[in-house]
């Protein structure tokens, strides 16, 4: 599909007008997939104007027609599943398992969004003023700017695009430069095939240094939805704040996986392996720190190390591969530097850590303390620091000893005890006897502290992409005091 290396504006594929280019590189082979002209501010302006022009008609489109588009998107996705999976593998370095998980999550959010057109409801409220009726109307906000990430590119872009469009908004999507296709142009092509009207979804792929700030500060978009790093999210929030724009931000995490002494260790290890090494740990919800009670620390560590050592590492196109490449060599170097510094501070690297280009074998570290770089920083890679604790109070303190608050997990055979502990963890999500990489389309997804603002999923997404207006109707003459 040659159009994947072009911009998608007002229903048509166009060459970017910037003098700069974007190169799409396979993170495993380092081979160039294609080169494309980057979008300029002029392209961005055309895209936002196209979305603004398309908004009135799309807003007033019957709910059944909006729902039909979402059903068509789901159908096209299903028909093109192999193509989507293939692009996730070669462009994002996804293993087959991760690509399947991502496809399923994206399809689920599209199916959930199909219910939104008939869930946009207002209400009638009584008034204290005689002869007055209060009406609350809910309507789409307008044009939504979506900035998609590179790690779960297809799902996390679709997580904003589908609900926003289903609620009656139009969208301009800026994909991550490392995953232009799976975070952007492939989604545009799916919507086009599904029958989306021109201007409903537009894609501008460009360098953040060239169009990033303009994407946020442009006068047209009412909401900026961003998934990515806390550093970039903070900058976006600052820009949006200056222009009184609303944001939906899903940012970084330093997620704790807590193992209490009464946990089923086999289940805890299975959960930890999946939650740590899915997509090489390059997920905002991935386990960053394993907090294990001292009574089961040695046994858990032994089992976890054994399982980590058994994970196949290599080409993500190989069906057997579990741990594939990191997105860039620079990410490998950053993680190795944190491991080295932590070992110098007293941590023990008991397994793994070998690298070959963008490949990094699972690394397991013990004797880790919270102040070490491998525990303090968001890893975003296949390194697993295991921290010992003595009491539940200490576990909660460790879990909260970070500026992030996205997800987490607690393992215990006493479910109420685990839930009570989970309530004390300052994060948006905690999962009992599971791992932190969970995303269900109807549930509230989001973080606290520096992990983001707002919630995605279900009615929370609907609230984010719609607004309410109060219209009062005075049906009889009102008397005034003067």
Could you report the per-residue pLDDT of 263-285, keeping only the tens digit for each? Answer: 999 999 999 999 999 999 999 99
Helix axes 265-277 and 297-309, enclosed angle (nearest 10): 50
Known catalytic residue at 42 = no
130 and 59 in one domain?
A: yes
pLDDT at 271: 98
Q: What is the pLDDT at residue 2? A: 56
Looking at the structure, do residues 466 and 418 belong to the same domain, yes or no? no
Question: Is there a domain that residue 461 lies in?
Answer: yes
Decide if 478 is inside a domain.
Answer: no
The whole-number average pLDDT for the span 380-400 is: 98
Contacts 24+ apart (CB under 8 A), 97-103: 97/278, 97/322, 98/278, 98/279, 98/324, 101/278, 102/152, 102/154, 102/155, 103/77, 103/154, 103/155
CATH number at residue 350: 3.40.309.10
Mean per-residue pLDDT, 198-227 = 96
Evaluate whether residue 342 is within a structural domain. yes
CA-based nearest residue to 289, from 415, 397, 155: 397
Residue 3: which pLDDT band, with cuts at 50, 70 and 90? confident
CA dihedral 264, 269, 274, 279 (to 10 degrees): 160
- Let me know if residue 482 belongs to a domain: no
Catalytic residue among 112, 210, 250, 392: 250
Residue 114 maps to a domain = yes
Per-residue pLDDT averaged across 16-21, rounded? 94
Element (H, E) at 301: helix 297-309
Summarize pLDDT for 135-154 with one digit per residue, the tens.
999 999 999 999 999 999 99
What confidence category does residue 361 fall into, taking pLDDT thresholds of 50, 70 and 90? very high
> In this structure, are 312 and 194 located in the same domain?
no
Q: What is the pLDDT of residue 441?
A: 95
First to last CA, the chain: 71
pLDDT digits over 414-437, tens only? 999 999 999 999 999 999 999 999
- Report whether 170 contacts 58 (CB < 8 A): yes
Number of domains the chain contains: 2
Nearest C-alpha neighbor of 386 from the set 476, 474, 303: 303
> To the nearest whole number, what is the mean pLDDT of the chain?
96
**Same structural domain for residues 268 and 209?**
no
Torsion sign over Cα 21, 158, 244, 403: negative
**Helix, strand, or coil here: 188?**
helix
Instruction: Say which DSSP state 117 is in.
Output: G
pLDDT band at 208 (very low <50, low <70, confident <90, very high): confident
Question: Which residues make beta-bridge pairs with 136?
Answer: 123, 470
Look up residue 309 and give its two tokens. 């050592």
Give per-residue pLDDT as tens, 274-333: 999 999 999 999 999 999 999 999 999 999 999 999 999 999 999 999 999 999 999 999
Q: What's the CATH code of the domain at 88?
A: 3.40.605.10
Residue 356 sits in the same domain as residue 407: yes
> Does 184 lie in the same domain as 77?
yes
Pair (152, 63) in one structural domain: yes
Are 109 and 158 within 8 A, CB to CB? yes
Instruction: Specify whether 409 is located in the same domain as 465.
Output: no
CA 345 to chain centre: 33
Decide if pLDDT at 217 tops 90.
Answer: yes
Of residues 408, 410, 434, the one with CA closest to residue 421: 410
Task: Please check whether residue 39 is in contact with residue 13, taking contact to mean a CB–CB distance below 8 angstroms.
Answer: no
Separation of alpha carbons 437 and 286, rounded Å: 6
Q: What percent of the chain has pLDDT over 90?
A: 99
The reply to whether 443 falls in a domain is no
The CA dihedral of 302, 325, 313, 255, to the nearest 10 degrees, is 20
Read off the pLDDT of residues 113-124 as tens digits, 9 standing for 90 and up: 999 999 999 999
Taking the complete model, does pTM exceed 0.85, yes or no? yes
214 pLDDT more than 80: yes
Domain annotation covers residue 210: yes
Please tell me whether residues 370 and 458 are part of one structural domain: no
C-alpha span between 479 and 309 (Å, rounded)? 80
Q: Which domain holds residue 401?
A: 255-432
Asked whether residue 381 falls in the same domain as residue 419, the answer is yes
In a domain, 171, yes or no: yes
Same domain, 125 and 246: yes
232 is written with which tokens? 């970039």
Query: Are both 266 and 244 inside the same structural domain?
Result: no
Strands (E), 204-273: 223-227, 246-250, 255-259
Q: Percentage of the chain surpassing pLDDT 70?
A: 100
- pLDDT for 279: 97
Over residues 354-362, the mean pLDDT reads 97
Is the model's pLDDT at 1 over the cut of 70? no
């Amino acid at each position: 599909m040659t159009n994947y290396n072009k911009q998608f504006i007002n229903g048509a594929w166009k060459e970017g007008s910037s003098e700069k280019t974007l190169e799409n590189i396979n993170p495993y082979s380092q081979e160039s997939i294609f080169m494309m002209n980057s979008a300029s501010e002029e392209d961005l302006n055309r895209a936002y104007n196209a979305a603004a022009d398309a908004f009135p008609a799309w807003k007033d489109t019957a709910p059944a027609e909006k729902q039909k588009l979402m059903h068509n998107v789901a159908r096209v996705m299903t028909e093109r599943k192999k193509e989507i999976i293939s692009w996730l593998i070669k462009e994002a370095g996804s293993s087959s398992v991760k690509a399947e998980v991502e496809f399923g999550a994206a399809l689920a959010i599209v199916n959930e969004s199909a219910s939104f057109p008939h869930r946009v409801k207002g209400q009638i409220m009584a008034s204290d003023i005689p002869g007055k009726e209060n009406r609350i109307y809910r309507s789409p906000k307008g044009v939504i700017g979506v900035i998609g990430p590179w790690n779960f590119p297809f799902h996390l872009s679709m997580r904003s695009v589908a609900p926003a469009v289903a609620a009656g908004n139009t969208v301009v999507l800026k994909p991550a430069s490392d995953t232009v296709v799976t975070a952007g142009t492939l989604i545009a092509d799916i919507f086009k095939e599904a029958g989306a009207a021109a201007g409903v979804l537009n894609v501008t792929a460009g360098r953040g240094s060239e169009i990033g700030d303009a994407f946020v500060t442009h006068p047209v978009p009412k909401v900026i939805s961003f998934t990515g790093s806390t550093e970039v999210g903070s900058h976006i929030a600052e820009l949006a704040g200056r222009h009184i724009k609303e944001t939906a931000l899903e940012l970084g995490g330093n997620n704790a996986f807590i193992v209490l002494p009464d946990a089923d260790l086999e289940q805890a290890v299975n959960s930890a392996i999946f939650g740590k090494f899915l997509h090489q740990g390059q997920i905002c919800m991935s386990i960053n720190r394993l907090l294990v009670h001292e009574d089961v620390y040695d046994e858990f560590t032994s089992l976890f190390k054994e399982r980590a050592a058994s994970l196949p590492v290599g080409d993500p196109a190989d069906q057997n591969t579990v741990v594939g490449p990191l997105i860039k060599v620079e990410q490998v170097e950053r993680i190795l530097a944190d491991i080295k510094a932590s070992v110098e501070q007293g941590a023990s690297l008991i397994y793994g850590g070998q690298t070959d280009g963008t490949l990094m074998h699972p690394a397991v570290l013990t004797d880790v303390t919270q102040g070490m770089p491998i525990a303090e920083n968001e890893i975003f890679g296949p390194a697993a620091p295991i921290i010992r604790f003595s009491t539940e109070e200490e576990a909660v303190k460790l879990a909260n000893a970070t500026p992030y608050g996205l997800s987490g997990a607690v393992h215990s055979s006493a479910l109420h005890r685990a839930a009570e502990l989970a309530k004390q963890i300052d994060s948006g999500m905690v999962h009992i006897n599971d791992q932190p990489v969970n995303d269900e389309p109807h549930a509230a997804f989001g973080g606290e502290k520096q992990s983001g603002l707002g919630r995605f999923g279900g009615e929370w997404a609907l609230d984010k992409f719609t607004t309410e207006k109060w219209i009062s109707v005075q049906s009889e003459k009102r008397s005034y005091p003067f």
